[in-house]
Amino acid sequence: AQKITQTQPGMFVQEKEAVTLDCTYDTSDPSYGLFWYKQPSSGEMIFLIYQGSYDQQNATEGRYSLNFQKARKSANLVISASQLGDSAMYFCAMREPRGKFQFGAGTQVVVTP
């Protein structure tokens, strides 16, 4: 069963604008971790941000913030002040209690000048 859902296959955003990437997840476990990774065209997977299921505050890492809505089981990524170098695939992932990580299908972001 699909546990991570990313409904936006692709998005265009103008430079310096903010963009929100959607992610919903499905689990009955109370303990889990949520992650966002970036994969540029070069192929490497780059960790961006982490949110634990018990964390009370939304995670932030520089221009990245995670909008965590536990009751809705959503973990949207917000990228502020987009840069051309932000063009990439973005994957949402969930770490299950036993340690397995599941990934969504990804969202392709293209930043335009």
Partner 1 sequence: DTGVSQDPRHKITKRGQNVTFRCDPISEHNRLYWYRQTLGQGPEFLTYFQNEAQLEKSRLLSDRFSAERPKGSFSTLEIQRTEQGDSAMYLCASSYLGATNEKLFFGSGTQLSVL
Q: Which residues of this chain interact with partner 1, rule CB under 8 A? A: 4, 6, 33, 35, 37, 43-45, 47, 50, 52, 91, 93, 95, 98-106, 108
Contact 66, 48 (CB under 8 A): no
Question: Which one, 41 or 113, has the nearer CB to partner 1?
Answer: 41
Question: Which one, 12 or 14, has the nearer CB to partner 1?
Answer: 12
Minimum Å gap between C-beta 32 and partner 1 is: 11
User: Cα–Cα distance between 73 and 6 in angstroms, integer?
Assistant: 12
What are the backbone dihedrals phi and psi of residue 9, each rounded to the nearest 5 degrees, phi first?
A: -65, -35
Q: Letter for the amino acid at 95?
A: R
